[in-house]
Structure 1
């Protein structure tokens, strides 16, 4: 009998239904969507498996058969992965170090750092002796320690952006950026704040209790302001309640209801406080009162006013504009309603209305390549500089302006348009030039092929150019200005020049350079001027004939130039002087110019002088051109066919240097940068064949003294009235002479200073673009600011500094009545310097002495005291048109710069 296993219907049914349930459940799981943690999926998967209904997987009831669904279409399904993030996760990593140890308390999730602990999180840096981080609350605490002398060391130092704090203890939340500190020192810009308690409510706002505000960076500041409550808004301002000052820790019985201290960086609008002055001519006054307004990022306006008790006032409006990488400019208009005590007894006050206009404009060269535009305008009333407080412009009697536009086309053609003016404040004559222009065609070579094949021919180097200029000018006196006179004095002129050049190969083995040239010129005039003697009234009458006139000129030249070198080095091995090198560059040329301008010249009587000693009357004739005095001027008369010559020299030596070991310890020293002479000899002239000799000299002596000099030597003799006669100076008996020096000048300048220990000079703070030109008033205001704020600019590490410049010039000029010649000499010296009385006291002076007048024209002295966070300056000008005494004591900080003690007394000493 075979025994098989029993078949149990109950077990079979349970197993079958279990298997079916598992299969159905496994298939059904794919039709249920997962729960997403993030709003957006972190990964997307494309599933192309046919599905019946992604939203409902249960069988349909109420007679609906799910098997009749259309599954022929592929339905795309997107699955997502969910990533859970811890609630205590930060938005940036934390880096930390410690020199002693780091302790991790896992149950409480706290980290402790000991000894020179350092934590870096985002833009936050924290240094302390002990730093603890609670991961659950995300609060960082930091404390200090004590050394063997029981001194507090390794205080918590917290830095975020431009804000820096140092506290006894610190705690803050890294997520909310709220914190609390005790006995905290805060440094923000120029501000130093100490408070018993400080609370940060956000990244930008701080509150302080029982605080001390100062700009002195010492632990015990020289001065401070104390207040019970303070609020600081980062990079904007600081606000306090009632505040009182203290000096050296001693409080003053002076309370201010509130304090407002701006902390914003860059430009911001606001009032400009004045300074009190006392002037004997103008009375008591307030100077510098004004307002600065920022209109937008490209434009701002500054208004300054001076008000005096005698009724005088002055207002200056200065708009400034700028666009980065494009252009920048500034305009300044000043109106001076002057009312001062009169020096004469006829009237009590002298009144005048003066004005000044300045404009400067520059364009970035990269803004529009090939095009430039610039402006430098300086025009004013003729008496404006005379009554100015600016000592540098009191003696400036010449003012100039220019506005220019240039356009370049591929370096082939150039166009320039300009306008300008010049004025003489002594003669009160104004010259306005508008418009002026020039068109230039750079040399082009008509016979030159586009591509060279072989050696170029000589005629292929023939170059032709064009220079055309046109000018329009009008002149007037400010005392007799009218539109009719303005039109009567208007002049215009056009000048054309066509240079023709030819580059020839060098000769004599390349030692001599040959350069031929031809120049064709033509000038157009708008008037002719004729001078005629009036015997009845004994004067020279001048008549102007308007019209269109032309004049021509042509010249031919051929020049030869070379260079000769000579060296002498026979000084011995032990000599400090190693060699002397001399370079001579001679130039010789021949030229020819026909007398095309002869028709334009005439002789006329300019004066008749009675000689009472001889009992005769001397009639003086002068040669003029119809175009003498016009805007373009005349061509020179006479035929020239002769020799032009010139000689240039350069002299330098080599010495052995003990300090400089470069180049084998040999150093080059220039003795004479340039010394030479040039002139000409006219073979075709009837008289005065030899021209005047022009000498020049340029040198830097001992690498310290700059020397420039020039002189004009006339080789002919003169009569008793100083007129030249056709006889060389060395002809005839008597003493041998090469001639008479008729014009010359010499200028010397040098600067001596002690050795500088280190660089401490600071750049002047200026919100404007550095490339923007400054007006004279701005330059003087900066000079005054530097003198009144010496600690910011003066380098007290330079014990002494001396500047010396001397100039001498003379000229042989025709007298105004044409009776002869006279020599006019001007000579002056400028001295300036400063030295340290002590490491913190500096004394200096500047003076200008006129040798012709035999008097000091200007003398300014100053004393500066550097007092760490304060500064003092005393300026005295006892000699000059404007004499004044000024003493100023104020903090160095720009925030408290207007908190000053100022005493100024000035006196106008001009006429």
Structure 2
């Protein structure tokens, strides 16, 4: 085939040929239109509209008439089974005798799901062959290299010969994509729709013309989207062969889930020995169920087994479970024994139901339970090693027309330090939403004041078990079991507003049921407080309160800023609230005095301390509750954001204020402590939350309160003592993406995946993996980022031995971030510092190297329960992810 242009006319006879060709193709559309249909010349112009018709049933006037039309169309044997659409930007040449069509420049041919593009394409109708080639310009640059797309298979070659009818073809210097795998072949032969043979081929996951690495073989067979099998094969890097030959190669390239072995990872530790981690098997049982089995095996005799089934049913439910067993055998740090052995287990279960499955009914489960020392023996996971609290929850909810709600649940929590396990099962909650008994079904006109009287009901029942892990047996469980119930009936009334003031009176009746009543007293012989009696039975306590509340909002604005000022205006909103309430002392019979030390000092206590729902407070209250909430906003002039006239609204302080009360009928301590709070987001970056409790009364030398205000007695004005407080600050700083378009495309691609939302257990698993291997998740498009969080809290608490008060405080700071050392090197760090112990509890350093289709990650944890070192070099492709070089060492510190 040549690339000459046949429409270069030099002789007048060519005009006659052109007119003849125009007459022959008068029923055809121009070659510039891509909607032309190419048929056999013998049948292309056949008129099928004049076809004899025959009625199989004669017509009758008094009966239904049925007609059967039969068509007789004679098709040529060499006709195609589907039309062919073709186009070209330069010209088209048709050879009538040979029945060939040649397309020049940006030619394209489409039939069914196949599309072929090239610089020149020749269609030979008698043989049903298509030949596509490229050409080179004056500089030798390749133009219009043939590309073929069929279904999900893409192929690019120097030469493509393809048969429409047999679906067979031959290509030269071909590159085709099979999922994440790229196959290069000197010659590739397509024998049917799914099977290919390649001569002198290479396979790689690198998408460059000259890949960084590949597997070379002389011959290979590919089954589209399923697998690739080769003869003797060897790897090469940067075009340099590696003298490692395998007798054959097998590459599974099937899409979706499929069963198979899970390769292990080599690890070494002075405490555990040499080990293989992650060895297992993945089994797909059906479309809704699969299971993963993994094991860790160590040379000192320890092993771990992890069984993880998952299940799902679209639009109904999904869930996962993880059953773990550790048989730990590590070198002991003491001379008494050579090895320390332990057997621990852990159960994780997560289940969620689609809300569309059964409207009004839901079931969810999130279980995390096991041995208290399980987290301590998990290697290479500093976050999990310091997680000392485990909790679980299983709940069922039922709603009846948004009027009644029932919740049944089972809860569990355990402390890995104290080994105390608390279980609440069953727990039930029944709620009657507020209803208005005096309100008619059809409201006419404005409602009367009494029609806004609302009544509700909240009922809770719980059964609780508290036992230490060492005492986990039936007798201890029955001995510590206690139950309780709580009922609350709120009655509220919404009165018409008096101008800007809202008034809301209400009545609340509460009742609690207890299963145990205790009495404490001082034991002079042991010089401590003992529990004298713990009486089991059915006990009741009641409480009632009456209240009327008023609230309003006050607005202040300052807008006298200069024209050149960045501020347009500042607005301050004040929301004061005040309430009058009365509560009789119905709980007086439940409180008593007991001696706490040898000096005869006494304190008040309730018979129902330590119960599930706690005791009611004692004493009569008849007084005023008050509080003030504030927020401050500002309007600033923005040069970047031109919306709304270039004015942008920001919050300077989201909220700050206080709450307290004054008891008019109490004989002492009438003024309640002040609850102070503040929250803000500075510069839309720094989140700050703070709170404190301010006690207005003085204390004696032992720390007990006296009925004397802090500001009385001279010495200047002192509003009170801060008895507890907390503050937390967190922020995130990061640079702008180097390529904002790439960042936007990545964000859109994640949204377009359409994957179902992850369960809580799946989210935790991914977060844990990311924490353990931060360098594998390096984003080189973000040059640097820093995350900071600080928390501090303290409180004045009564000593457990009742011998005075003490201040308990905790403070910690978390820092993690990363930055690009070079465009392809990134360094990161994560650390947790505890101020109470004045030590770094955990420190992890990471280093990442971007190598296009490969990546290198180095993770080091020099401080923590486990000190680890890990270096991994592996392809980015998920298909070859297990083809990696890994070196892991960790050291356990007891």
Instruction: Answer whether TM exceeds 0.5 for this pair.
Output: yes
Alignment of 1:637-786 (within 5 A): 637-757=618-738, 758=740, 759-760=742-743, 769-774=756-761, 778-783=765-770
Show the counterpart of 1:467. 458
Q: Which residue of 1 aligns with 2:58?
A: 48
Q: Which moved more, 1:576-585 or 1:131-140?
A: 131-140
Q: 1:897 and 1:874 mapped to 2: Cα distance?
A: 16
Q: Which residue number in structure 1 is paired with residue 132 of structure 2?
A: 142
2: CA distance, partners of 1:79 / 1:340: 87
1:789 aligns with 2:776: yes
SS at match of 1:807: strand
Do the aligned partners of 2:393 and 2:409 also contact (CA within 8 Å) in 1?
A: yes
Note the alpha carbon deviations across 1:260-290, whole angstroms, 9 max, x for none: 1111111111000011011111011001111
Partner of 1:840: 824
2:501 to 495, 499, 512: 512
Alignment-derived partner of residue 92 in structure 1: 82
Match of 1:340 in 2: 330
How much has 1:755 moved relative to structure 2? 1.2
Say if 2:544 is the partner of 1:526. Answer: no
1:518-549, Cα deviation, whole Å (9 max, x unpaired): 00111111111121222233332223211111
- 1:25 alignment counterpart: none
| Change in 2 beyond 3 A, CA 1:854/1:776 | farther
Q: 1:263: which partner in 2?
A: 253
- Extract unaligned runs of 5+ from structure 1: 1-37, 51-72, 609-617
Structure 1's 43 and 505: CA in aligned 2 closer, same or farther, altered over 3 A? Answer: farther
List per-residue Cα deviations over 1:57-84 (Å, max 9, x = no partner): xxxxxxxxxxxxxxxx999996633111
Structure 1 residues 338-377: aligned runs within 5 Å: 338-377=328-367
Counting only pairs closer than 5 Å after superposition, residues 485-496 of structure 1 correspond to structure 2 as: 485-496=476-487
Distance 1:333 1:75, change over 3 A: closer
Shift of 1:146: 1.6
Task: Name 2:7's counterpart in structure 1.
Answer: none
Q: CA deviation at 1:483?
A: 0.6
- 2: CA distance between counterparts of 1:459 and 1:624? 42
Shift of 1:479: 1.2
Give the match for residue 431 of structure 1.
422
What is the alpha-carbon distance in structure 1 between the residues aligned to residue 476 and residue 769 of structure 2?
41
2:591 pairs with 1:607: no
Matches within 5 A, 1:366-515: 366-389=356-379, 390-507=381-498, 509=499, 511-515=500-504
Please give the alpha-carbon distance, in whole angstroms, between the structure 2 residues aligned to 1:239 and 1:767.
Answer: 33
The answer to whether the Cα contact below 8 Å between 2:383 and 2:768 also exists between their aligned partners in 1 is no
Of 541, 550, 555, which residue of structure 1 is paired with 2:530? 541
1:865 and 2:849 matched: yes
CA change 1:254–1:453 in 2 (3 A) is closer
Question: How far apart, in 2, do the equivalents of 1:668 and 1:203 lie?
Answer: 61
Q: Residues 777 and 288 of structure 1: is their aligned pair in 2 closer, same or farther, counting only changes over 3 Å? A: farther
Contact map agreement 2:825 2:847 (CA 8 A) in 1: yes
| Aligned equivalent of 2:4 | none
The CA deviation at 1:769 is 4.1
Answer with 337-346 or 450-459: which moved more: 450-459
2:796 is the counterpart of 1:812: yes
**Counterparts of 1:785 and 1:815, CA distance in 2:** 40
Q: 1:477, 1:604 → 2: CA distance?
A: 28
Which segment is superposed worse, 112-121 or 766-775?
766-775
Structure-1 separation of matches of 2:320 and 2:534 = 41
Cα distance in 2, alignment partners of residues 91 and 785 from structure 1: 57
Q: Secondary structure at the match of 1:202?
A: coil
State how 1:147-166 maps to structure 2 within 5 Å: 147-166=137-156
Change (3 A) 1:777 1:593: closer
Give the equivalent residue in structure 1 for 2:610: 629
Residues in 1 aligned to 2:629 and 2:59: alpha-carbon distance in whole angstroms: 98
Return the alpha-carbon distance in structure 2 between the equivalents of residues 49 and 151 of structure 1. 73
Relative to structure 1, the CA distance from residue 776 to residue 48 in structure 2 (aligned partners, 3 Å threshold; closer, same or farther) is closer
Matches of 2:804 and 2:569, distance apart in 1: 51
Structure ID, larger Rg: 1
1:478 to partner: Cα distance = 0.5
Note if contact 2:594-2:603 (Cα within 8 Å) is conserved in structure 1.
Answer: yes
Contact in 2 for aligned 1:788/1:888 (Cα 8 Å): no
Alpha carbons of structure 1 residues 75 and 338: separation in structure 2 relative to 1, 3 Å: closer
Q: Is residue 2:601 matched to residue 1:620?
A: yes
- Counting only pairs closer than 5 Å after superposition, residues 49-448 of structure 1 correspond to structure 2 as 80-389=70-379, 390-448=381-439
**CA displacement, residues 657-687 of structure 1 (integer Å, 9 cap, x when unaligned):** 1111111111112110000100000001111
Alpha-carbon offset, residue 44 of structure 1: 5.6
Shift of residue 786, structure 1, vs aligned partner: 5.5
Tell whether the 8 Å contact from 1:358 to 1:775 is kept in structure 2 after alignment. no
CA gap of 1:785–1:642, structure 2 versus 1, over 3 A, is closer
- Preserved CA contact (<8 Å) 2:596 2:803: no
Specify every segment of 5 or more residues in structure 2 that has no aligned partner in the other structure, as ranges: 1-47
Relative distance call for 1:781 and 1:702 in structure 2 (3 A) is closer
Alpha-carbon distance in structure 1 between the residues aligned to 2:586 and 2:52? 94
Preserved CA contact (<8 Å) 2:491 2:508: yes
Q: 1:888, CA displacement in angstroms?
A: 0.5
1:5 alignment counterpart? none
CA 1:535–1:110: 2 relative to 1, 3 Å = same
State the number of aligned residues. Answer: 836
CA-CA distance at 1:194 after TM superposition: 1.2
TM-score (norm 1): 0.89
Measured in 1, the distance between the counterparts of 2:159 and 2:849 equals 39
Would the alpha carbon gap of residues 435 and 81 (structure 1) be closer, same or farther in structure 2, given more than 3 Å must change?
same
With normalisation by structure 2, the TM-score equals 0.91
- In structure 1, the residue corresponding to 2:383 is in which secondary structure? coil
Q: Distance in 2 between matches of 1:705 and 1:74?
A: 83
Using the TM superposition, give the Cα deviation of residue 88 of structure 1 relative to its aligned residue in structure 2, in angstroms: 2.9
Q: What corresponds to 1:612 in structure 2? A: none
Alignment partners' CA distance in 1, 2:567 and 2:58: 96
Counterpart of 1:892?
Answer: 876
151-160 vs 843-852, which deviates more?
Answer: 151-160
Shift of 1:767: 12
8 Å CA contact 1:789–1:892 kept in 2: the answer is no
Write the distance in 2 (CA, Å) between the matches of 1:89 and 1:679.
92
SS in structure 2 at match of 1:386? helix
Query: Deviations 1:106-141 (Å, cap 9, x if unpaired)?
Result: 112111101111111111111111111111221111
Question: 1:214 deviation in Å?
Answer: 1.1
Q: CA deviation at 1:513?
A: 0.1
